[in-house]
Amino acid sequence: MVAFYDEIEIEDMAWDPEKGVFHYPCPCGDRFEISRSQLANYEDVATCPSCSLIVRVIYDPLDFEDEKPEDGESEDEDSGSDGDQFEDAMEKLAISDTPTVPVSP
Ligand SMILES: [Zn+2]
């Protein structure tokens, strides 16, 4: 079992063009890192080099499948937030109360 400290969306991570990694601050003071090539290999675990914490990166592997040299296109993406919360609609289980039929002598 792998216990992730947290799940981070790739949009919430910062890109480090010098090291070629996405990073996200770790509570220990360091930062989680995952390289673009890792993402291209369908790896979604960002690790912190200073502690043992790991986070799961939420991303679309298709975005990283091909490492394109040119990187300037801005894609129109509808970022619809799925923040719907389920109402606490407790469905009452209809327990069929079969009345015991009195046995008539
Ligand atoms: Zn750490």
What domains appear along the chain, each with residue ranges and CATH number?
A: 6-64 (3.10.660.10)
* Span 49-86, pLDDT tens digits: 999 999 999 999 888 876 555 555 455 545 444 444 44
CA distance 61 to 49: 23
CA of 33 to the centre of ligand 1 (A): 10
Q: What is the DSSP string of the chain?
A: ----SEEEEGGGSEEETTTTEEEEE-TTSSEEEEEHHHHHTT--EEE-SSSS-EEEEE--GGGGSS--S---PPP---------------PPP-----PPPP---
Is the pTM value of this prediction over 0.75?
A: no
CA 56 to ligand 1 center in whole angstroms: 14
Determine contact, residues 58/71, Cβ cutoff 8 Å. Answer: no
